[in-house]
Amino acid sequence: MQYRNLGRAGVKVSTLCLGAMTFGEANEKSFMHQVGCDTATAHALCDAFLAAGGNFIDVADVYGEDGLSERVLGDWLARDGHRDQVVLATKFRFRMDPSPNGIGASRYRIVRAVEESLRRLQTDRIDLYQVHMQDLDVAEDELLRALDDLVRAGKVLYIGCSNYAAYRLVESVYTSQLQNLETFATLQAQYSLVVRDLEREHVPACLRHGLGILPWSPLASGFLSGKYKASEAPPPGSRLDKRKKSLELYDRPHNWLILQEVEAIATELGTSTAAVALAWLVQKPAVTSVIFGARNLAQLQANLQAAALVLPADAMARLDAVSALDLGYPYDFIARTQKRW
């Protein structure tokens, strides 16, 4: 396992991050109902990830009914000294209760949300606390001041954001600088071989301002795992079998060509398809750590192959070419003029 700075922060994290969204399978209200795992399996995944050198785990209050995934992870963190062996990240923003202030990123909501996450996670601090999506109803300086207070109180060590528009991300950075507030260290965002939109604005912004990118859904809901075929129905019980609307998002000729190239490179290198897709992201500019999920140990081991995989330059070039992003205006105009992107 390799380690990198968590964006602009000094702490080191593994280049693969275990996503805990699948932790806990309670009932139909669970965020990952029918595609999650039980508590025993979740704890086994954490043990195996730690044994492989992984030290970065990401969760969110909204994963599972009443913070189920945080509670499952908290039970694991509370035993055998695990809390001090990992860099712990969680998120807030989406609805946790039906009250008017049960959703959002106001100061009122944040001071309540952090206490609830600390309780569920059975810890005295959150290493990386992230706003799960920008809130159009809350001024960025209110959000940043509240998060800055949490850092000063020692309840949070670093702050990050997720699912931010590029303009809002840059606005946040400058607001922090102008008001001497804590600055986001990371951006968590969707990024994969079949979803490269981040490269238009977010990647250049993160490179300029020192934010580390934490890609989520790096396998495109499992599409890039190698278990799906263009002319066949999804395997019974698989994530895209249970969530056919997600499959419709990826069931396009261009994406099947990308998957075909990933599989070819995996065969050439003697590794898993998932490992190739993850390793491509690990080697992209501004990426700090790639967040992957797993429902069982077999999936975890297939993904962990990416930890030691360095894709040759020609493999990176092939993957870049087959998954090339349609930049659109004005990015394509700029690219033709200055040979960027």
pLDDT digits (tens, 9 = 90+) for 288-313: 999 999 999 999 999 999 999 999 99
**How far is it, in rounded angstroms, from Cα 315 to Cα 313?**
5
Instruction: Name the CATH superfamily housing domain 3-220+271-309.
Output: NADP-dependent oxidoreductase domain (3.20.20.100)
Q: Which of 215, 200, 209, 208 is nearest to 165 (CA)?
A: 200
What backbone phi and psi angles, to 5 degrees, belong to 305?
A: -60, -20
Strand pairing partners for 212? 186
Q: What is the mean pLDDT of residues 97-125?
A: 97
The CA-based angle 90-94-100, given to 5 degrees, is 130
Tokens of 127: 């290493």
Question: pLDDT confidence of 76, banded at 50, 70, 90?
Answer: very high
Instruction: Give per-residue pLDDT as tens, 49-74.
Output: 999 999 999 999 999 889 999 999 99
Tokens of 147: 């998060």
Q: Per the residue annotation, which of 3, 63, 167, 174 is the catalytic one?
A: 63
Q: Which of 50-64, 218-232, 242-256, 266-280 has the lowest mean pLDDT?
A: 242-256
| Catalytic residue check, 63 | yes
Long-range contacts, stretch 168-176, CB < 8 angstroms, 24+ apart: 168/134, 168/140, 169/202, 169/205, 169/206, 169/211, 170/205, 170/209, 171/140, 172/140, 172/143, 172/144, 173/209, 173/211, 175/140, 175/141, 175/144, 176/144
DSSP code of residue 217: S
Predicted local distance difference test score (pLDDT) of residue 244: 63
Return the higher-pLDDT residue of 251 and 297: 297
Instruction: Give per-residue pLDDT as tens, 160-213.
Output: 999 999 999 999 999 999 999 999 999 999 999 999 999 999 999 999 999 999
Q: Which of 34, 104, 35, 23 is nearest to 64 (CA)?
A: 23
Specify whether the CB–CB gap between 30 and 23 falls below 8 A. Answer: no
Pairing of strands 87-92, 126-131: parallel
Specify whether the CB–CB gap between 341 and 330 falls below 8 A. Answer: no
- Helix axes 68-77 and 39-51, enclosed angle (nearest 10): 50
Handedness of CA 7, 9, 15, 17 (dihedral sign): negative
Q: What is the mean pLDDT of residues 9-22?
A: 97
pTM, two decimal places: 0.94
